[in-house]
Amino acid sequence: MTVLQKKAHNPIGHLSPEDIEQIGVELDAIRQSVIDTRGADDAAYIRKVIATQRKLELGSRAVLLVSMFPPAWVVGTAGLAVAKIIENMEIGHNVMHGQWDWMRDPKIHSTTWEWDNASPSEQWKHSHNELHHTYTNVIGKDNDLGYGIMRVDEDQRWVPLYAAQPLWNFVNACFFEYGIAAYDLELGKNLATKERRQDPDFRARAKVTLKKIRNQMTKDYVIHPLLSGPSFLSTLGANATANLIRNLWTHSVIMCGHFPEGVETFERRSIVGETRGEWYLRQMLGSANISGSKAMHFMTGNLSFQIEHHLFPDLPSNRYQQIAPQVQDLFRRYGLTYTTGSLPRQVASAWKKVFRLSLPNGALRRGRGATVTDLPAGAPAREHAAA
């Protein structure tokens, strides 16, 4: 964590090595308490969510068969968008994390689930579970940090191309499922040289991804519209709109969890020899939450509890809200900042940072005062205010 020593206000400067390892011990205890109490209620929860999502999607697609009528188009499109968000966020993302593997149900298992997304599940699990959650917010190691196309820290050298990163970020948001597929493939790096383009492993993975994209597009833009007969064009538009809404929502939620002001980034050298307690601390400092209603938490796949998710990515998502007060108390007792805010605040904060870092450092000095400051030991956690 020595990289944080460069900050004007080092957020962990008051912690001793013993404090950091004790934080790890206490977080391990919280995790074990959930593992020890997983059971029938949790299993019933995820099965009910899956059943409800499937009924919503089927019903919405049925309504869209007569989408030539505007009310049917609106109802069907809204229902399909919500169904796709639930499938991606609360079901697919969390099932593929292995959160429900303890049930031993092959239908709800990380090794068998394939989601409604352009990125094949196996490739996503590698880039997300193995890389992102291991190297959270480590520049050059975590592709989820800026998606490989944005400047994410003042210490990154600025080049003129970064001036356009607000545009790249908006385009990425609109086509987010394809952006995920691209950086799961590390497309920029693997297309850079002839040797990489011809690498058998890359070509095999690219073939799998193209097949997945073809299947997704055939389902949404060929089969379902054709089944609608006279409503072909309106159903086609409805499916495109539902996918756009899902992409924008997912992108916003993920940006809120990783990119608002107050979230730390780390250099590669800072994780050399990292202990269990230091890994936990990096998750705490490198994540942010979204405050809101139970409905909002559900629609984010409980990634509104991004701090808890990064600490315990394999725990059932419906338990994050339950353990959040314990985690927040840990932050208070050790004088750390529990970065949280409403959805509008966090979205605004993340986008402000995108714009701020698109400029050379000399042009953004005036904006540096917006970051969250450290809490004194025992002080309450607070929401940060994005300008």
pLDDT at 43: 98
Region of residue 146 (left: phi > 0; alpha: psi -120 to 50; beta: else): left
Distance (Å, rounded) from C-alpha 311 to C-alpha 314? 9
Asked if residue 277 lies in contact with residue 23, where contact means CB atoms within 8 angstroms, the answer is yes
What DSSP string describes 23-41?
HHHHHHHHHHHHHHH--HH
Asked if residue 150 lies in contact with residue 357, where contact means CB atoms within 8 angstroms, the answer is yes
Distance (Å, rounded) from C-alpha 302 to C-alpha 319? 9
Tokens found for residue 286:
């490198």
Of 237-251, 284-298, 351-365, minimum mean pLDDT range: 351-365
What DSSP string describes 281-316?
HHHHHT--EEE--HHHHHHTTTGGGHHHHHH-TTS-
Mean pLDDT of the chain: 89
- Count CB atoms within 10 A of the CB of residue 174: 13
Of 58-62, 263-267, 355-359, minimum mean pLDDT range: 263-267
Helix, strand or coil, per DSSP, at residue 118: coil
pLDDT at 362: 72
Distance (Å, rounded) from C-alpha 322 to C-alpha 38? 13
How confident is the model over 119-147, as a mean pLDDT?
Answer: 85
Statement: residue 373 has pLDDT above 50: no
pLDDT band at 361 (very low <50, low <70, confident <90, very high): confident
pLDDT at 18: 95
Residue 236 one-letter amino acid:
L
Which pLDDT tens digit goes with each residue over 130-140?
A: 989 998 988 87
What DSSP string describes 42-100?
HHHHHHHHHHHHHHHHHHHHHHGGGTTSHHHHHHHHHHHHHHHHHIIIIIIIHHHTTTT
How remote is the C-alpha of 66 from its chain's centroid? 35
Asked if residue 80 lies in contact with residue 243, where contact means CB atoms within 8 angstroms, the answer is no
- Residue 291 phi/psi, 5° resolution? -90, 150
Distance (Å, rounded) from C-alpha 231 to C-alpha 385? 46
Q: Which residues have a Cβ under 8 Å from the Cβ of 361 and sit 6 or more positions away?
A: 154, 158
Statement: residue 334 has pLDDT above 80: yes
pLDDT band at 296 (very low <50, low <70, confident <90, very high): very high
pLDDT at 147: 64
pLDDT at 67: 96
Which pLDDT tens digit goes with each residue over 224-264?
A: 999 999 999 999 999 999 999 999 999 999 999 998 988 98
Of 55-59, 139-143, 174-178, 201-205, minimum mean pLDDT range: 139-143
- Count CB atoms within 10 A of the CB of residue 269: 9
Query: What global pTM score does this model have?
Result: 0.89
Residue 17 one-letter amino acid:
P
Highest mean pLDDT: which of 197-201, 269-273, 312-316?
312-316
Which pLDDT tens digit goes with each residue over 87-109?
A: 999 999 999 999 999 999 999 99
